[in-house]
Structure 1
Amino acid sequence: MFLELLAFSPFLLLPLLFFILRLFGNSKTNGNSKLPKSYPIIGSFLALYKNYANRLLWFTELLQDSPTSTITMHHSLGRHFVVTANPTVVQHILKTKFHIYQKGESFRTTLHDLFGDGLFNADGDNWKFQRQLSSHEFNTKSLRKFVEEVVDTELYNRLIPILSTSSSQRTVLDFQDILQRFAFDNICRIGFGYDPEYLLPSLPQAKFAVAFDDAVQISEERFNSMRPVWKIKRALGIGSESRLHRAVSDVREFAKTIVREKKRELDEKKTLESHDLLSRFLNSGHSEENFVTDIVITFILAGKDTTSAALTWFFWLISNHPNVESRILKEINEKTESEAGYDEAKDMVYTQAALCESMRLYPPVPRDVKEAVDDDVLPDGTKVKKGMTVVYHIYAMGRMEQIWGKDWAEFRPERWLEHDMATENWRFVAKDSFSYPVFQAGPRICLGKEMAFLQMKRVVGEVLKRFKVVPEKRENGKEPDMLTYLTVKMKGGFPVTVVERD
């Protein structure tokens, strides 16, 4: 206990520091009246700490109040960072000056215990190699196989029966948990040729899944702590760092089991009969266990948490917009009459527009972090020094009037559609990826974008065709609180009742 108090001693002094340093605060705001004061040594850490639980909305307000949609803040110990919701700046850091803005040593160190050198945490040649090899998994043939052999099997054999049972028994389901289980089974089957059977009627508790969520949460919290503090705690093996060590051990053991089983399978076959992502890496000559384990963990994050988060907020939004649900149902019924599976999902234009609109307001990954490896000046005039962190705030960008107009707060899928006079049909019109970087942009744009949309549209189509998803009423009709870590989840889950349609 004494050692943990020692590690936290800076926090115990914060109230005293606050009163002592008030007189010395820097009130310069660069035209932004809402920016917090910066104090000697601790910078704006007091304000950052105070607003931690509500940080997405807080930064959104700061960026909306900034004339350039960009702010610079002093974290602590001389560390400054930039946050932007400006599409021109986003294009600059993700494309024009891509070579300058990398994951960086600070980011990699913070997440290395969990993700190691996997694609999510990689730069340079390591990143290029992993991305090139992974890209083979996202061609048209693989996508069709993903829908027809993986997603549809999981839908018809597991998800739909569970929802039918819940409907007939009138039970309350945590739909967020159900969707996470569904996505977890899918990514393991398509990525590793392994079925974890997480979405079974018994809804089994998986040690790995609990450990993975804990590890992601604690790793993310490191970003909002003073770096010396979490490093001291890790060295001493105390507090949250002790919990992280146990969680990461469980996660890596699970991933290594998958890798070892796949190696044994490939050794027995002697040929590359299995075309999943893991087999490609193991047969590329890069089969060192820790490296491949990093890749497995990275793809579990990408496949499990992002699509399930997007679908959770989507079902909540359409439950509050019956007109949108009606239009989606109309499209589902029209497509079901003429197409099936992969082709049906691919051509669901209005549903894709509704999904994009949902992710505009609730992006699965709310912000992304880069580190400058050289001095630079952003297009809006903001100066960036070597080693500084630059954050593009995806959540805030979905709420900027400059990008979406005065009706930015409205859930309106029609903003993604254009009427084709020649065919009398609606045509989907994508926003440029620098104004809507939900799937990143530039050279690091998400490889799994098309796969994610196909999976989500199949879920939406098959679930809504059969059921009405009715959220449980929240206190005072409040909007669900957000749990913000590497992805945005609903705090307390998403309790729903499922009503079978006539």
Structure 2
Amino acid sequence: MFANRHRRIQWLCDLVKSSPSATYTLRRPFGAPQILTGNPNNVQHILKTRFDIYTKGDFFKSNFYDLLGNGIFNIDGENWKFQRKVSSYEFNTRTLRKFTETVVDTELFDRLIPVLWESAQKKTVLDFQDVLQRFAFDNICKISFGYDPNYLLPCFPQAKFACAFDEAANISTKRFNSPVPIFWEVMKILNFGSERKLKIAVSEVRKFAQKIVREKKEELEKNSKIDSVDLLSRFLISGQCDEDFVIDIVISFILAGKDTTSAALTWFFWLLSRNPNVEEEILKEIGGKTKAPVFDEVKDMVYTHASLCESMRLYPPVPLDSKGAESDDILPDGTVVKKGMRVTYVPYAMGRMESLWGEDWNKFRPERWLERDPVTGKWVFVPRDPYAYCVFQAGPRICLGREMAFLQMKKIVAGVVGRFRVVPAVEDSFDPVYTSTLSSKMEGGFPVKIEVRAEE
């Protein structure tokens, strides 16, 4: 574990791929053994068949409680069911979909495209990962709070809340990956080192969220007829008034939307730069959609959708997910699970398994998701088994924001690819390193030069 601490995700992937059943029991020097799996039958068993016994577990909750509190990503049972039910209703409203579409268009055409255009004119190098993270942060704050942090501006301002959120997420993840958990527990008691930094960062995050919640309450009290479509307003209108509860929900939504779409798009544009044939097919598809494709047009971007799925197969925004076993069990491949053990499925490894994707698993090939309609000759998207491709989880905890994420990503692809070439400002031999906290990143950023695409 120590020798591979700088390539932890890749090492865990190697362990899973080297096992005949794609399942490996890691016996750690401290703490209970951990089971790692990339077996789709096991994943279905964990996420669906025995969903009742595979919970977030005390280990996960204790590590992330300071940041996530009792938000939807850190709880089980009746509290989770309640938040899921309310969230599910809000995510499925036509009003929110339209609001999201408007927010993305505004951020895309008023901020992202002008930033890229200016960079192209001045021939500067951008960290495209940072640009996309800023874009995603503005978007999720507008959708969640109805608040604009103005994080994506040409001067690239520092947002205290965004920096605090990143630090809190990074330290919480280090807690989770620590081989000797008692170290951080002692530091927390002593208010020392990284735990002191975490306390300060979380305080900043919650203070900011609390300010937004209180301002939104006042806004709604002054004008009960206000046409509020952001998620926070909708939760408050539906009767969720406990302040800490609402703050936890808001923080969870930011976690879900801030880095996941930006991570997916960072790797997508990297792969696109290395596969000009795919870029050409996307250009054909978005031909008349560079203005502002509406929802129905976005749905028709089948090849782009397949390309995004293929990118996330190789570089999933969340590389692994852990559950805690509430009772003894046996997985479908015969692996024995004891009460209290952590069971982790690894989407990063599953996207790299020859048994699931064939000999060309290491190729970026969107066509593996498509087939031709025998009548029209057009591409038709063919979904994969959700337990073999569990990038958005599966079963009762499947991601509620999946459709919203694809809407955002396809709009960005249409807006950017139709106007610019995103050219990596690196050596041809450059091999980016996939790293992860709560979501994945390209280590050291993604330096690019922006070139304006010549009109036909």
Sort the TM-score into its range (normalised by shorter chain).
over 0.9
8 Å CA contact 1:133, 1:280 repeated in 2: no
In structure 2, the residue matched to 1:88 is: 41
Distance in 2 of aligned mates of 1:162 and 1:292: 34
The Cα of 1:340 is off from its aligned counterpart by 3.1
Deviates more, 1:199-208 or 1:141-150: 141-150
**1:195-232: CA deviation from partner (whole Å, max 9, x where unpaired):** 11111222111111111111111100111211111100
Counting aligned pairs with the same residue, the percent is 60
2:311, 2:436 → 1: CA distance?
17
Partner-residue secondary structure (3-state), 1:314: helix
Q: Counterpart of 2:233?
A: 279
The CA distance in 1 between the partners of 2:201 and 2:211, in whole Å, is 16
CA positional deviation for 1:138: 2.2
Task: Number of aligned residue pairs: give it.
Answer: 453
Query: Please, what is the CA RMSD of the aligned residues?
Result: 1.5
Paired position in structure 2 for 1:39: none
Contact map agreement 2:40 2:387 (CA 8 A) in 1: yes
CA distance in 2, matches of 1:417, 1:245: 48
Closer/same/farther in 2, CA of residues 146 and 347 from structure 1, 3 Å limit: farther
* Structure 1 unmatched runs, 5+: 1-47
Q: 1:494 is aligned with what amino acid?
A: F
2:243 aligned residue: 289
Q: Could you tell me whether the CA contact under 8 Å between 1:217 and 1:485 is conserved in 2?
A: yes
The one-letter amino acid paired with 2:451 is V
Alpha carbons 1:357, 1:413 under 8 Å: kept: yes
1:443 is aligned to 396
State how 1:109-148 maps to structure 2 within 5 Å.
109-139=62-92, 141-142=94-95, 144-148=97-101
Structure 1 segments, 4+ long, off by >6 Å, are none
Contact 1:95–1:443, Cα closer than 8 Å, also in 2: yes
Contact 2:99 2:230 in 1 (8 A): no
Find the residue that maps to 1:50 and give its secondary structure. Answer: coil
Q: Distance in 2 between matches of 1:464 and 1:77?
A: 49
Render the CA deviation track for 1:105-129: whole Å, top value 9, x for unaligned: 1111100000100011111111111
Indicate conservation of the 8 Å contact 2:90/2:234, yes or no.
no
Cα drift, residue 147 of structure 1:
4.6
Alpha-carbon spacing, 1:335–1:169, altered in 2? closer, same or farther (3 Å): closer
Could you list the per-position Cα deviations for residues 329-373 of structure 1 after superposition, in whole angstroms to 9, with x for gaps in the alignment? 111105569x93222211100000000000000000000010011
The code of the aligned residue for 1:329 comes to: L
Q: In the alignment, is residue 501 of structure 1 matched against residue 453 of structure 2?
A: yes
* 3-state SS of 1:267 partner: helix
Bigger shift: residues 481-490 or 392-401: 481-490
Distance in 1, matches of 2:95 and 2:74, equals 25
Distance 2:250 2:209 in 1: 6
Aligned mates of 1:344, 1:152 — CA distance in 2: 14
Question: Matches of 1:285 and 1:457 in 2, distance apart?
Answer: 34
* 1:8 alignment counterpart: none
Q: Which structure 2 segments of 5+ residues have no match?
A: none
2:256 partner amino acid: A
Alignment of 1:431-470 (within 5 A): 431-470=384-423
Counterpart Cα distance in 1 of 2:4 and 2:171: 18
Kept after mapping to 2: 8 A contact 1:470/1:496: yes
Q: CA deviation at 1:438?
A: 0.2
How many angstroms apart in 2 are the aligned matches of 1:332 and 1:266?
A: 40
Instruction: Return the TM-score normalized by structure 2.
Output: 0.97
Matched, 1:490 2:427: no
Q: Does residue 235 of structure 1 match 2:189?
A: yes
SS in 1 for 2:449: strand
Q: Distance in 2 between matches of 1:93 and 1:190?
A: 32
Q: Does 1:311 align with 2:262?
A: no
Counterpart AA for 2:175: R
Q: CA deviation at 1:280?
A: 2.4
Q: Which structure has the greater CA radius of gyration?
A: 1
Equivalent residue for 1:321, pick from 261, 275, 284: 275
Alignment CA distance shift 1:332-1:143 (3 Å): farther
Q: 1:73, 1:82 within 8 Å by CA — same for their partners in 2?
A: yes
- Where do 1:94-493 residues align within 5 Å? 94-139=47-92, 141-142=94-95, 144-225=97-178, 226-271=180-225, 273-335=227-289, 340-474=293-427, 477-493=429-445
SS at structure 1 position matched to 2:418: helix
Counterpart-to-counterpart distance in 2, 1:77 and 1:480? 32
- The answer to whether the Cα contact below 8 Å between 2:107 and 2:135 also exists between their aligned partners in 1 is yes
Q: Distance in 1 between matches of 2:393 and 2:193?
A: 34
TM-score by length of 1: 0.88
CA–CA distance in structure 2, aligned partners of residues 412 and 61 of structure 1: 22
Residue 78 (structure 1) shift:
4.7
- The answer to whether the 8 A contact 1:83-1:393 is kept is yes
Q: Answer yes or no: is the 8 Å Cα contact 1:331–1:348 preserved in 2.
A: yes
Q: Which moved more, 1:149-158 or 1:273-282?
A: 273-282
Structure-2 separation of matches of 1:425 and 1:146: 31
Measure the CA separation in 1 of the matches of 2:205 and 2:28: 31
Cα distance in 1, alignment partners of residues 440 and 167 from structure 2: 14
Counterpart of 2:18, as a letter, is: D
